[in-house]
């Protein structure tokens, strides 16, 4: 079967099931180890038996509800491929925006620092910690996660991309407090989906629920962090969080209760949704 025929068959099949037809091309050029633009130059080539078999198995997995990122085993974040599997959340574009905004604020807030200590709590795949370590060479990065399986994935990503990141298995801030570790920048993309909120089954049924749900109102982990985070902050520090698009008012109140004297801002993403919280801490 030619590439064109195989893709047409898969796309029609997906379209009939009201699934994303583009997944067929994405999976094929990933398996064929080609760039997207190269795919169009090979449309009339014959597909090898092994490639066809692997492709059709992947399409079946997708039809049965498995995210394409887990089928491929990687997701691109900030221009780099990160290994992902069901032990870690799939990195999202919104989180790339968080990383961008952190990098902008490092230049402003820590312009005269030779070295800057940073922690990423709830690191998952390590996408945030590894990307920041690679993008800003002044950073000394530590990342934590309660899941040893997630930490294994994060370590593999950091090693593969030659990033200098230290990883610790532990519950939220506890390992950092225990080690009396102090940071200039605290980063977290904590679980923030309310427990009873309906979300897409492809997310709920595949991605680790421990990294998705943040208690009854979605704010459980923010409360825990705000309660203890001052124990690990240096006298001048920046706190950066990803937040749910509808949590602005609730988080404003939490910040005002926990950091009454601190300046903070909530930033919109490219879609105009409130998705990032920054707190400027001064002892």
pLDDT mean for each 10 residues of the chain (283 residues): 94 94 94 89 93 96 93 95 94 94 94 96 96 98 96 98 97 93 96 61 57 66 93 97 91 94 95 95 90
Q: Can you give the pTM of this predicted structure?
A: 0.90
Nearest Cα to Cα of residue 10 among 24, 20, 31, 22: 24
pLDDT at 255: 96
At which residue do the structure tokens 């795919």 appear? 39
Is residue 35 helix, strand or coil?
Answer: coil
| Cα–Cα nearest to 146, from 113, 188, 104, 108 | 188
Angle at 231 between CA 228 and CA 237, to 5 degrees: 105
User: Would you state the pLDDT for residue 37?
Assistant: 87
How much is the pLDDT for 251?
92
Place of tokens 């240096």: 234
According to the model, what pLDDT value does residue 123 have? 96
End-to-end CA distance of the chain: 67
Shortest CA distance to 189 belongs to which of 214, 170, 171, 206? 214
Q: What is the pLDDT of residue 206?
A: 57
- Can you tell me which residue has the tokens 């795949």? 125
Q: What are phi and psi of 218, to 5 degrees?
A: 85, 0
């Amino acid at each position: 079967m030619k590439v064109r025929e195989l893709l047409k068959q898969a796309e029609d099949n997906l379209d009939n099931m009201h699934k994303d037809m583009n997944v067929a091309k994405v999976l094929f050029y990933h398996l064929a180890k080609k760039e997207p633009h190269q795919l169009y130059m090979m449309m009339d080539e014959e597909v090898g038996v092994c490639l066809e078999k692997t492709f059709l198995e992947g399409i079946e997995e997708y039809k049965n509800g498995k995210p394409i990122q887990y089928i491929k085993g990687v997701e691109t974040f900030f221009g780099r491929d990160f290994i992902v599997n069901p032990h870690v959340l799939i990195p999202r574009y919104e989180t790339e925006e968080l990383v961008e905004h952190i990098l902008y604020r490092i230049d402003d807030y820590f312009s005269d620092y030779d070295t800057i200590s940073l922690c990423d709590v709830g690191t998952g795949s390590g996408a945030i910690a590894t990307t920041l370590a690679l993008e800003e060479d002044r950073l000394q990065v530590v990342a934590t996660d309660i899941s040893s399986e997630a930490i294994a994935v994060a370590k593999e990503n950091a090693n593969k991309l030659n990033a200098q990141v230290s990883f610790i298995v532990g519950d939220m801030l506890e390992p950092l407090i225990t080690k009396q570790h102090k940071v200039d920048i605290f980063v977290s993309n904590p679980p923030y989906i309310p427990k009873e909120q309906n979300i897409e089954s492809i997310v709920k049924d595949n991605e680790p629920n421990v990294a998705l749900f943040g208690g009854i109102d979605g704010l459980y982990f923010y409360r825990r962090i705000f309660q203890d985070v001052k124990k690990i902050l240096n006298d001048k520090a920046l706190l950066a969080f990803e937040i749910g698009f509808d949590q602005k008012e609730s988080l404003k109140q939490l910040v005002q209760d926990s950091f009454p004297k601190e300046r903070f801002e909530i930033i919109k993403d490219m879609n105009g949704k409130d998705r990032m919280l920054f707190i400027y801490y001064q002892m």
